[in-house]
Amino acid sequence: MPATITRLSVEDLARRTNLSFLREARAKHHSLSTWMEKHNPTDKENGGPLDAFGRVMEYLDVKTRTVPQAGVYADELDMLLDPNAPDREVRRTLFHEWAWRQWRAAAHPVLRLPEVRAVQVTTDFPLNTAMRPYTDSLTPRDQTLSAAIPIDEVLALTEPIRGNAYRSVYVTEPAVAQKRMVRVGEGAEIPAVTMTLSSRTIDLYKYGRAIRWSYEVVRAQRFDRVALLLEQIATQAEIDKLATILDIMQNGDGNPNTGGTVTNMTSLDAAATPPNVTAKAYLAFKQLFLNPYVLTHILVKPADSLALQLLTLGNNNNPVATFPALLGSLTPINRSLRDAVRLGETTDAPTSKIIGFDSRRAVGRLVEEGSDVEETDNFITNQTWVTTMTQNEGFQVLEERGIQILNLLA
């Protein structure tokens, strides 16, 4: 008979949120925040601005942000890491989740627009609460540090798996001529196309970082300062992951023929003078994405981004858009011809190459369920706390036809 989750009050949830409760969450492949929400859901009874984790932090009167002008100051770390506190196991467990929430906030930033507030998530707390004690502001601001190019921007999907290796099954697609419906004579046999399967294996690797805190830091440093450090580490991790994604776009994910197709610029425009990008070469590059794929994103080095934004038009041919009043304008039907390509600059991109891809089908992320582990323990002999944060992740090329690489030097 399946186990029934009992609804707990905030007080009972605060007492129960210990290391055993955290292990229960991991066994069910949940974050601690999600597991707490299941036991104390946000509904009509708990219809306030906080989720279950926030309500427990509020119940324990833990402040994590500082606003001097309002006379509100974040607590020091020992508010949750005091080894002498009677409920120290509960508080240390909450510190585990607080650290991961800071990490997730930096790794998955929420888009904010002026006068528009994003849908509230577990790391987004309203003003004037224990989790975000700011005074009211007319324009919401997101001060969370995040990578210039968020990984979520370039990924088609994130798939949770079990185990440290992933074996995916692909349909070997037949040639275009074999997929077309053909005219069949009366009584004649209908031509068949055979679909075959192939498999690819993706290895997942553990990534981690340990942070050592002295007892003096735990007593003196406040939550908002430590949150900045965690955000910096998470941001650097996202930057490093983007470098890995760029590598597999070029060289494949370890399986044969999974890297993007490289095309020389002069083969698209014989009059081009490398590394200057011509309008003809760029338009032809966009046309390399055959139906149903389209160019949605480009990743380049800053210098190559400048060359791409200063396209050479040439002397003989100019786009119709150059003379709209004289010639009118063309409205493309194909999405691949429209001006909606998102440009990202990163020093990890290859030199003198433009990596273009369809973000809907190019790259996927694989995450081992329950591998996001944060542990904190104290060591009496040297009077330090050590926090370790680890993840098991991997990346795969979903459709190599959704990746095209333009070589600007040839």
Can you give the residue ranges of every domain in the chain? 145-410
List all residues 6 or more positions away from 383 whose beta carbon is below 8 Å from its beta carbon.
Answer: 214, 215
Residue 334: both structure tokens together:
């194909």
pLDDT in tens, 242-272: 999 999 999 998 888 889 999 999 999 988 8
pLDDT in tens, 8-45: 899 999 999 988 898 888 888 788 888 999 999 887 66
Q: 363-368 and 384-397 as β-strands: parallel, antiparallel, unpaired?
A: antiparallel
Q: Would you call 324 exposed, middle or buried from its count of C-beta atoms within 10 A (0-12, 13-18, 19+)?
A: exposed
pLDDT in tens, 185-234: 888 888 777 666 567 788 788 888 788 878 777 777 888 888 888 888 88
Confidence of residue 134 (pLDDT cuts 50, 70, 90): very low
User: What is the overall mean pLDDT for the chain?
Assistant: 78
CATH code given to domain 145-410: 3.30.2400.10
User: Cα separation of 318 and 278, whole Å?
Assistant: 11
Give yes or no for a contact between 404 and 289, defined as CB atoms under 8 angstroms apart.
yes
**Which residue from 33, 211, 169 is spatially nearest to 105, judged by alpha carbons?**
33
- Segment 132-154 shows an average pLDDT of 59
Q: How far is CA 394 from the centre of its chain?
A: 13
Q: Please compute Rg for the chain using Cα positions.
A: 27
Residue 306: both structure tokens together:
């400048």
